[in-house]
Structure 1
């Protein structure tokens, strides 16, 4: 067991990538074998999104080095909000409160990406997918990847988040992000219960509906409490009423080409 723990601690990036790949592949196979989607169409859509890994992953891995450097410095110098709590070295403060505060920071980041127009131009690449499925998880413009990691560096510095809580946070976040982008929805009763605490696929499907005000609902990353607190929560929409994508970029020819999608933030459009 100690050898396993040491591996996870010494190889955080490779661990995250491996976990990411296994979950995405498993859910992708479940989607294509249980839903009325042809393998050809499914693969064509997936391949378009997979290209984003080639552009975003190098940025993610490089920026992770700086995140860890800031984390180590902050912990060494006891710098950050978490060190203001009594018993700052306890499990509850370091991991539980640290996780909750990091989740709030991700909520805040997500709101900022929607509300600040220059940033939204990059984030809408993720929203422009007309066929939400598990592969949509990796559909992130490399500039947004850079921005997201820059914000994470700021959050880590302000909170004084340790390496341990970052690893815990990223692992849970990975699972939550992938599952929330699946084509599957929870039964209404189960969703009503689980969504009191967590962001479910049902909630995130609403967020990916192509029109306002739904695009500005359910910003939460793992926990749904922030949407409830800040009045951005919307329980669910019937599947028949949801249209995925974003109303300013609904052209199929544009969304079927990786090179065209990557250029979206730089195109001038009449809106």
Structure 2
């Protein structure tokens, strides 16, 4: 564990970029070998839109990185946060507990709030408009949503009392797991179900991208599946019944146009169709 702490305490920006790019490349290739859905789409055009949003997310996180660093330094210097208020524990338990709590606040809570608070949903909606979910969809976030998610991550760092090495480790894992559970890959059903008891598996997360409620408002997790199971937001749907997208923006000129996607948060609100029975 000491080597992991040492590495993520000083991880170069180039290594973090390599984790992001390497994950996309790996799952991109895997999708072509064993796809979950055989899409009829312009893959490079689709990827171009999603990679644009990936780059804007990188810019937002880079510009605001000093805030995250200040939050982590404050928590450690003042022994502020949950990890500092608990009895001393084994370093592995310390790391796992910290990652669980960061995932709860920085991912699950942030995601749940964006679905429940109308002004925030307007920005998160761009992620759900994608009708061809693949690994590039993982970072399809409007720049406004990137700022919102950053705020929740910073809140998580303060509440948890996470040191910076743990923050970098969490962010690296978050990127890879998001690419994994968005990837258009077909795992053996038994393997996927087994994984979903611990982490967010591809089949589990794809349900969240079904185009209608109540499935859109389910399976919010990113790394760990425990939070959906604990808070009653875990749902199951047969993969053959999943239709990607969001019912208010199913037209290609809306979900496959970069210009329109950037403007969606500022357009007139549309009413969703009644929820399906679950």
Are 2:252 and 1:252 equivalent residues in the alignment?
yes
Q: What is the TM-score normalised by the length of structure 2?
A: 0.89
Contact 1:94 1:161 in 2 (8 A): no
RMSD: 2.2
1:77 to 1:210, Cα distance in 2 relative to 1, 3 A:
same
* 4+ long deviations beyond 4 Å: 2-8, 33-38
Distance in 2, Cα, partners of 1:128 & 1:234: 20
| CA apart distance, 1:266 | 0.5
Q: For the Cα contact (< 8 Å) 1:179–1:201, is it kept in 2? A: yes
Task: Provide the residue aligned with 1:27 in structure 2.
Answer: 27
Aligned to 2:263: 263
Alignment of 1:178-257 (within 5 A): 178-235=179-236, 237-257=237-257
Q: Secondary structure at 1:263's aligned position in 2?
A: helix
Shift of 1:212: 0.4
* Matched-pair contact (CA < 8 Å) for 2:8–2:169: no
The 2-side partners of 1:191 and 1:146 are apart by: 32
Distance of aligned partners of 1:10 and 1:205 in 2 relative to their CA distance in 1, 3 Å threshold:
same
Task: Report how far residue 117 of structure 1 moved.
Answer: 0.6
CA 1:3 to 1:230, structure 2 compared with 1: closer, same or farther past 3 Å?
closer
Asked whether the 8 Å contact 1:114–1:120 carries over to 2, the reply is yes
Q: Which residue of 2 aligns with 1:164?
A: 165
Aligned residues of 2:34 and 2:185 also touching (Cα < 8 A): no
CA contact (8 A) 1:67 1:153 kept: yes
Maintained 8 Å contact 2:124/2:145:
yes
Change (3 A) 1:185 1:269: same
Task: Tell me the alpha carbon deviations over residues 24-69 of structure 1, each in whole angstroms, 9 at most, x when there is no partner.
Answer: 012213324655457x711111112112133222101122221112
How far apart are 1:93 and its partner, in Å? 5.3
Could you tell me which residue of structure 2 aligns to residue 80 of structure 1?
81
Q: TM (normalized to structure 1)?
A: 0.91
Gaps spanning 5+ residues in structure 2: where?
A: 272-278
CA contact 2:8–2:165 (8 Å) conserved in 1: no
Structure 1 window deviating more from structure 2 (219-228 vs 13-22): it is 13-22
Q: Equivalents in 2 of 1:153, 1:12: separation in Å?
A: 20
Structure 1, unmatched stretches of 5+, are none
